[in-house]
Amino acid sequence: MAKRVHPTEISVTTADAFSRDPYGGNPAAVCVLQHGGPRDISRDATWMQNVALEMHLSETAFLQPTSKECGPWNSFDLRWFTPTAEVDLCGHATLASAHVLWESGQAEGEEIVFNTQSGQLKATKKPGSDWIELNFPEEHASELPPDAPERQQLSTALHCSEKDILHCARNRMDVLCEVSPAVFASMGKEPDFGLMKKIQCRVLIITATAKEGPVQEMLGVAGGLDGEPFDFVSRAFAPLVGVDEDPVCGSAHCALTPYWSKKLDKQRLLARQASPRGGSLIVQMSDKRVLIAGQAVTTMKGVLLH
């Protein structure tokens, strides 16, 4: 008996970004929508939001080729949704999208262009490896004054003194906070998300140097990448957009990279997102852009029936 195909059947793929191994890094669902079809779902934000809630991952990516010609393609419109909101920028779901497009043969060439709410983003295959490099905008964070309420709110949420908050800054989306290595290493798996919700931002980024004892002990055998030690560590919390902790937040590195690049006087840095799942990135400043490199692995394929 021939297989019965649902008239609105759409493929969906889950890929773990910023990991070389399955079930590490940050999972994202990827839906590639074609032009035409039984209904115009490609621009239906309500449908996308419902799918993202159903996937229940930190982000679901929706892509549509910019050309109406038959594929493969090298240019796509891209939108990202958490389970509760559309977001302006997402790194790990962009990396997952590029990985899925190349793996499935839906993209051609060594570079993919994504048209997004944060402008044009690019993904490039690194020659001779499975690494993919994203070209993202720099999102510089300006330091907050000593009496900024975010500092007191952070010290309460992290159960530390204000002197342990070494730097606190904000950009158009996020709050970046460098803490002492001892505080970072002692955060545990579940910081106080209720208190974090009082800080108005898309992502609350907590970071520390990876060069000092407490963090090195916390990382253990994951203290480097292919024999090269990490430069900094971070964790990313986004409770206001429905994600208590983002396992590996690529777009947070649009703020982290210029900060640590200036502080350490290095253009290329190795970063570790020290969430329970964990993930590794190679980041680099390039004029006013940030290059974010990572790996990805497909873990699930399925279809949406509605």
Q: What does 193-260 look like in DSSP terms, one character per residue?
A: HHHHTTS-SS-EEEEEESSSHHHHHHHGGGSEETTEEPSEEEEEEEGGGTEEEESS-TTTHHHHHHHH
- Give the pLDDT band of residue 38 (cuts 50, 70, 90): very low
* Spans of all domains in the chain: 10-137+294-304, 142-287
Q: Please tell me the distance from the alpha carbon of residue 169 to that of residue 176, in angstroms, as a whole number.
A: 5
Per-residue pLDDT reduced to its tens digit, 235-281: 999 988 888 899 999 999 999 999 999 999 999 999 999 998 999 99
Q: Please tell me the distance from the alpha carbon of residue 78 to that of residue 56, in angstroms, as a whole number.
A: 19
9, 54, 59, 150: which one is catalytic?
59
The enclosing H or E element of 79 equals: strand 75-81
Architecture of domain 142-287: Roll (3.10)
Active site residue 139: no
Per-residue pLDDT reduced to its tens digit, 185-243: 988 656 777 888 889 999 999 999 998 888 888 887 667 788 889 999 999 999 888 88
User: Structure pTM?
Assistant: 0.90
C-alpha distances (whole Å) from 13 to each of 2, 16, 218 are: 24, 10, 33
User: Pseudo-torsion of CA 168, 171, 175, 178, nearest 10°?
Assistant: -40
CATH class of 10-137+294-304: alpha beta
